[in-house]
């Protein structure tokens, strides 16, 4: 048994920091698998019903502002870039640039949530609430089950929004740790893993946007 434990930069049951990193990455990917399965159920339900009620879905989706959706898409894509760059920079020991990238990622996430806020309040204004609280008789008159579309809309974007918020906390935490000096070019696992999480959040939206906002 080696006696380098007082210098250990990795847990005792791993051989090296690289060993620990690779295991951690595998663990993170497995977690992302569960996230995909989680959101996948929403998409499955949505897709199954869209085939059954195409006209209703078409009519309902006009209430969604595809420009706001597109803006959010681009904002998230940019945030994915900055997230990836923050990892690229810390891998090169460029801590300041890495911090800036994390900060911009956070700002993009914030913009996303603000746009979301406006989208939601606009809907509430029109009486479009989830589930049994839906109250827009004009729309219900066209299609009695139009509330179903909006239930999906709120549940899917709502859950996604919660994941964005969680991501924001995680990124803020990473910024705090990076500022403290926890990370360098050898030791940046946490940044990488938060990055992977953030990309999945982006990925979900990449599917959500066309399926929900751009149905023709």
Partner 1 sequence: MGNNHDKHGSHDDNHGGGLHGHHLIPIPVYVKTLLALVVLTVLTMWISTVDLGKFNIVGNLGIASLKASLVMAFFMGLKYDNNLNRAFILSSFGALAILVVMSASDLWVRPKPLPVAVKSAKSLVTKENLSKFEAGSPEMLDSGKKLYDMNCAVCHGAGGKGDGAGGVALNPKPRNFSADAGTWTFGNTAKSIYHTLYMGSPGTGMASYKSLLPEDRWALVHYVMSLSSGNKVGKADDKGNADIELELASAGGPPKPSIPIDLAIDRVAQ
Partner 2 sequence: MSHAANINFYKAAKPGIMSWVYTLDHKRIGLMYFATTMLSLCVGGIFALLVRLELMFPGQQLFDANMYNKIFTLHGAVMVFWFIIPAIPGVLGNFFLPIMIGAKDVAFPRLNLLSYYLLLLGMAINLYGILHGDGADTGWTFYTPYSIKTGTAVVSMVLGVFVMGFSSILTGLNFIATVHTLRCPGMSFFRMPLFVWAIYSTAVLQVLATPVIGITTVLLALERFMGIGFFDPKLGGDPVLFQHFFWFYSHPAVYIMILPGMGIISEVITTMSRKTIFGYRAIAFSSLGLALVSFLVWGHHMFTSGQSPLANYIFSLITMATAVPSAVKMFNWTATLYKGSISLKTPMLYALGFLFTFGIGGITGIILGTLSADLHFHDTYFVVAHFHYVMMGGAAIALFSGIFYWFPKMSGKMYHEGMGQLSFWLFIFGFNVTFLAQFVAGLGGMPRRYHDYDPVYATWNLISTVGSWFIAAGILTIIVNVIYSMKNGPKAPSNPWGGKSLEWTTESPPVLENFAVVPTVTAGPYEYGVKA
Footprint of partner 1 on this chain (CB under 8 A)?
2, 4, 7-10, 15-19, 21-22, 25-26, 29-30, 32-33, 36-37, 40-41, 43-44, 47-48, 50-53, 66, 70, 73-74, 77-78, 80-81, 83-85, 88, 91-93, 140, 143-145, 185-186, 195-196, 199, 202-203, 206-207, 209-211, 214-216
From 16-24, 89-97, 106-114, 207-215, span contacting partner 2 (CB under 8 A):
16-24
* CA–CA separation, 58 and 50 (whole Å): 9
Q: Does 166 bind partner 2 (CB under 8 A)?
A: no
Cβ-based neighbour number of residue 203 at 10 Å: 16
Q: Does 172 bind partner 2 (CB under 8 A)?
A: no
Tokens 């339900």 belong to: 45
- Name the minimum Å distance from CB 49 to partner 1: 8
Contacts of 70 (CB under 8 A, 6+ apart): 209, 213
Helix%, strand%, coil% for the chain, nearest 5:
80, 0, 20
Residue 123: HSE in the Cβ half-sphere, 13 Å Cα cutoff: 23
Contacts of 167 (CB under 8 A, 6+ apart): 109, 194, 197, 198, 201
Tokens 């897709």 belong to: 47
Q: Which residues of 160-170 are buried (b: 16+ CB within 10 A; e: fewer)?
A: bbebbeebbeb
- Name the minimum Å distance from CB 114 to partner 1: 20
Q: Could you say which of partner 1, partner 2, none residue 3 binds, taking C-beta under 5 to 8 angstroms by partner kind? A: partner 2
Contacts of 90 (CB under 8 A, 6+ apart): 98, 178, 183, 184, 185, 188, 191
* Helix H or strand E segment including 80: helix 66-91
Q: Could you say which of partner 2, partner 1, none residue 132 binds, taking C-beta under 5 to 8 angstroms by partner kind? A: partner 2
Residues 47-66: x where in contact with partner 2 by CB under 8 A, - otherwise, as a string:
-xx--xx--x----------
From 105-113, 128-136, 176-184, 196-204, span contacting partner 2 (CB under 8 A):
128-136
Q: Indicate which single residue of 7, 67, 121, 132 sits in contact with partner 2 (rule: CB under 8 A).
A: 132
Applying CB under 8 A, the residues found at the interface with partner 2 are 1, 3, 5, 11-14, 19, 22-24, 26-27, 30-31, 33-35, 37-38, 40-42, 44-45, 48-49, 52-53, 56, 130-133, 144-145, 147-148, 151-152, 155
């Amino acid at each position: 048994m080696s006696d380098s434990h007082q210098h250990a930069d990795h847990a005792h049951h791993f051989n090296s920091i690289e060993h620990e990193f690779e295991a951690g990455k595998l663990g993170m990917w497995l977690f992302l698998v569960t996230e995909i399965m989680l959101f996948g159920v929403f998409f499955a339900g949505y897709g199954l019903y869209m085939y059954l009620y195409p006209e209703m879905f078409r009519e309902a989706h006009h209430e969604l502002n595809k420009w706001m959706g597109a803006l959010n898409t681009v904002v998230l894509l940019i945030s994915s870039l900055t997230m990836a760059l923050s990892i690229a920079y810390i891998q090169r020991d460029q801590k300041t640039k890495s911090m800036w990238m994390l900060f911009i990622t956070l700002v993009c996430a914030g913009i996303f949530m603000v746009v979301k806020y406006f989208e939601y309040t606009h809907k509430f204004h029109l009486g479009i609430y989830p589930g049994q609280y839906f109250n827009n008789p004009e729309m219900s008159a066209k299609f009695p089950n139009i509330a179903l579309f909006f239930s999906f809309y709120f549940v899917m974007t709502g859950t996604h929004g919660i994941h964005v918020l969680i991501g924001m906390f995680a990124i803020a935490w990473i910024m705090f740790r990076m500022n403290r000096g926890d990370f360098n070019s050898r030791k940046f696992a946490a940044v990488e893993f938060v990055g992977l999480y953030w990309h999945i959040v982006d990925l979900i939206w990449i599917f959500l946007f066309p399926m929900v906002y751009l149905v023709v």
